[in-house]
Amino acid sequence: MCGIIGYIGKEEALPVLLKGLTCMEYRGYDSAGLSVGDEQHAFQTVRAVGRVVQLTKRAAEVSLRGHVGIGHTRWATHGGITENNTHPHTSCDGKFILVHNGVIENYAALKEHLKKNGCTFYGDTDTEVLVNLIAWHYRQFSDISTLSKRFKASVRKALSELQGTYGIAVICTDCPNELIGARKSSPLVLGVGKEELFLASDIGAFGGRTKDVVFLSDGEIVHLQGNEFHITGADERALSPTVETVDWDTDVSDLGSYTSYMQKEIFEQPKSLENTMLGRFSADGSSAHLGGLQLSADELRRAERLLLIGCGSAYHACKVGEYLLERYARIPMEVEYASEFRYRNAPLSKNTLIFVVSQSGETRDTLDALHEARRKGLRVSAITNAVGSTVARESDGGVYQRSGSEIGVASTKAFTGQIATFLLLSLYLGRMREMSFSEGCRLVQALKDLPTCVKEVLASCDDWARTTAKKYAKCQSFYFIGRQMLFPIALEGALKLKEVSYIHAEAYPGGELKHGPIALIEPSFPTFVLASDPDMLSKNINNMTEIKARKGQVIALGIEGCPFPKDLCDDVFYLPKVHEAILPIITVLPLQLFAYYAALERGCDVDKPRNLAKAVTVE
């Protein structure tokens, strides 16, 4: 894992590959590399530990020429973060060069077999095993009439022996004007440009050069030759693929006046939320419609239970969705981590509707949960941001959250977009079940006011978040507590802080503090108390009193018109009084900014936090 780019076309491949790798930097990685060549120029590989800028420097030292190439950003799974383990990997006979996302589970047995047959290895990756396996089959297939056919047959044979997941792009130096790509449970998209073709794990890697794509399915192999491409299925039959034009911002490199994508994306939320809701309210102003769900009103009314599944921030959005749908649609709810759902084997009635939530639409755990649910005959709807992603294509229908490309590894606008989608779903389902017309109208109005409200809150809490983060940035641990719909917001606040500033943070429902976590409270251990729900005010004040009694510091988020006793909080920010349903969204805003400024204060790279990847495509 993490990002693949391949190019064959009229341009010099090097700048195209470097731009593609730069566009995928947001996915998180720890080393990068590329190979370039063609009929006139021998293939050369450069690799570097660290960022694409280091790779760019390396590439400038060597004269890399050619119109064919592959590149990769690596997030280490097998083997340490070393240059030797960085992709592309070359077979020991020098004939094949390959980049790979995924995990080859039977690599040890294959390696043993290859070693016995004279292969030597320079690194520890499963990918180096794969490239040598292809080379080994190529040697066995010496009787195949053309080099091109022999190349394809060797790749197909090697892939058939793998257990695990892969998205690959591979070069054979005997066929210098060709590339082969293939996928199994790891994304790979073909980009079709003017006199140029691309392979990538992410359409953002096309750097805006084309929006015409073919999403490859599992088991498919694409063979690029000059300007032509041929796709074959798992059964080796030739396919006639449809080239789709994606409605998605494929050039995402522009930061505008912002200093980081995280900052840009936090401040984009008024617009991204507006987009999520655009055209989705009913004409009578009391409900919403979500066409892509492809569920009839009857199917929705018959639903006995909703099960929401996601990972990380998407899971937290599901937890908010649980409270919202329970309250407004009056439907029994359950939320599960995707990684747990897959192995849990819980009994599920046929009238359970499942929603998987994934910004990237490529998260392995979420995809596996989706497959598991479908295997059991359940209908799975998706909430995803990435158009054409695997989750979008493999679910039975769903809703695009339309938050726009999210580049920062820490989710911000996608998280609030997921909550906004759950708000629309609550309205839609609620109005079919028990929600009254006037209650529906009030909620619609609150949602229509949401973008402006978010804009005002961001403008008013920015300075507060900066100053408060400066004051507390040296603390080593934080608690975040909230009740009801604000408990998942506490979870998200803690996750954001951990991800970008590396400060330890934990979150609890307010009532749980006294059941153990309070033992750690002392003057240098601050607690964020999310107290903007007026119904929970007295309970939250109890929490603050308990913390102050132990000399802990309290940073409170309150609600205008309900002031806290001054001696109970060290710092406080008052949010405007809004419809209770949109409280989770406005409460998370100061927490996103706090995490952002705390990270800057500690000198952290907010867009590329250590150890993290934007799309976690391994289990």
For residues 155 and 341, give the distance between their C-alpha atoms in angstroms, rounded to a whole number.
34
Question: CA-CA-CA-CA torsion for 580, 313, 382, 203, nearest 10 degrees?
Answer: 130
Q: Which segments of 80-235 does DSSP mark as H helices, in order?
A: 107-116, 126-140, 147-160
H/E element, 229: strand 228-232
Q: Is 551 a catalytic residue?
A: no
For residues 355 and 259, give the distance between their C-alpha atoms in angstroms, rounded to a whole number.
35
Asked if residue 575 binds ligand AGP (CB under 6 A), the reply is no
CB atoms within 10 A of CB 104: 22
Nearer CB in complex with ligand AGP: 35/276 = 276
Burial track 410-435 (b if 16+ CB lie within 10 A, e otherwise): bbbbbbbbbbbbbbbbbbbbbbeeeb
**Least Å from the CB of residue 405 to ligand AGP:** 12
**Least Å from the CB of residue 479 to ligand AGP:** 19
Binders in 11-30 for ligand AGP, by CB under 6 A: none
**For 163, what's the count of Cα atoms within 13 Å in the CB-facing half-sphere?**
6
Q: What is the DSSP letter of 339?
A: H
**Least Å from the CB of residue 535 to ligand AGP:** 29
Nearer CB in complex with ligand AGP: 25/499 = 499
Nearer CB in complex with ligand AGP: 220/492 = 492
Asked if residue 366 binds ligand AGP (CB under 6 A), the reply is yes
Q: Which segments of 227-337 does DSSP mark as H helices, in order?
A: 261-267, 269-277, 297-302, 312-329
**Least Å from the CB of residue 362 to ligand AGP:** 7
Binders in 323-362 for ligand AGP, by CB under 6 A: 358-360
Q: Is 2 a catalytic residue?
A: yes
Enter the tokens of residue 273. Answer: 């939320």
For residues 139 and 154, give the distance between their C-alpha atoms in angstroms, rounded to a whole number.
9
Q: Report which residue's Cβ sits closest to ligand AGP.
A: 312
From residue 397 to residue 416, the character string flagging contacts with ligand AGP as x (rule: CB under 6 A) and all else as - is ------------xxx-----
**Least Å from the CB of residue 360 to ligand AGP:** 3
Enter the tokens of residue 192. Answer: 């079709």
For residues 126 and 293, give the distance between their C-alpha atoms in angstroms, rounded to a whole number.
39
Where does this chain touch ligand AGP (CB under 6 A) — which range of 210-218, 341-349, 591-599, 611-619? 611-619
**Least Å from the CB of residue 584 to ligand AGP:** 16
Nearer CB in complex with ligand AGP: 47/498 = 498
Query: Tokens 């941001």 — which residue?
Result: 385
Nearer CB in complex with ligand AGP: 7/75 = 75
**Least Å from the CB of residue 511 to ligand AGP:** 25
Nearer CB in complex with ligand AGP: 110/500 = 500
Q: Quote the crossing angle between the two packed helices 147-160 and 126-140, to the nearest 10°.
A: 130
**Least Å from the CB of residue 217 to ligand AGP:** 20
Give the three-state DSSP class for 306.
strand
Q: Which segments of 141-213 does DSSP mark as H helices, in order?
A: 147-160
Where does this chain touch ligand AGP (CB under 6 A) — which range of 269-277, 506-514, 557-565, 609-617? 609-617
Asked if residue 395 binds ligand AGP (CB under 6 A), the reply is no
CB atoms within 10 A of CB 230: 13
Nearer CB in complex with ligand AGP: 43/415 = 415
Q: How many Å from the N-terminal Cα to the C-terminal Cα in the chain? A: 11
The answer to whether residues 339 and 437 touch, using CB atoms and an 8 Å cutoff, is no
**Residue in 111, 152, 496, 614 annotated catalytic:** 614
Q: How many residues bind ligand AGP (CB under 6 A)?
A: 16
Nearer CB in complex with ligand AGP: 548/614 = 614
Nearer CB in complex with ligand AGP: 45/272 = 272
Asked if residue 201 binds ligand AGP (CB under 6 A), the reply is no
From residue 284 to residue 313, the character string flagging contacts with ligand AGP as x (rule: CB under 6 A) and all else as - is ---------------------------xxx
Give the three-state DSSP class for 245.
strand
- Per DSSP, the residues of 32-73 read EEEEEE-SSS--EEEEEES-HHHHHHHHHHS----SEEEEEE
**Residue in 2, 119, 175, 311 annotated catalytic:** 2
Binders in 481-540 for ligand AGP, by CB under 6 A: 499
Binders in 132-161 for ligand AGP, by CB under 6 A: none
Asked if residue 314 binds ligand AGP (CB under 6 A), the reply is yes
Dihedral-angle region of residue 470 (phi above 0 means left; psi in -120 to 50 means alpha; beta otherwise)? alpha
For residues 59 and 252, give the distance between their C-alpha atoms in angstroms, rounded to a whole number.
23
Q: Taken in order 606, 608, 612, 616, is the CA torsion positive or negative?
A: positive
Candidate residues 363, 381, 390, 401; the one interacting with ligand AGP per rule CB under 6 A: 363
Asked if residue 615 binds ligand AGP (CB under 6 A), the reply is yes
Query: Max alpha carbon distance in the chain (Å)?
Result: 85
Candidate residues 383, 444, 616, 618; the one interacting with ligand AGP per rule CB under 6 A: 616
**Least Å from the CB of residue 412 to ligand AGP:** 8
Nearer CB in complex with ligand AGP: 4/521 = 4
**Least Å from the CB of residue 313 to ligand AGP:** 3
Neighbouring-strand partners of residue 223: 180, 230
Give the three-state DSSP class for 195.
coil
Q: Known catalytic residues?
A: 2, 614
* Interacting residue ranges for ligand AGP, rule: CB under 6 A: 311-314, 358-360, 363, 366, 409-411, 499, 612, 615-616
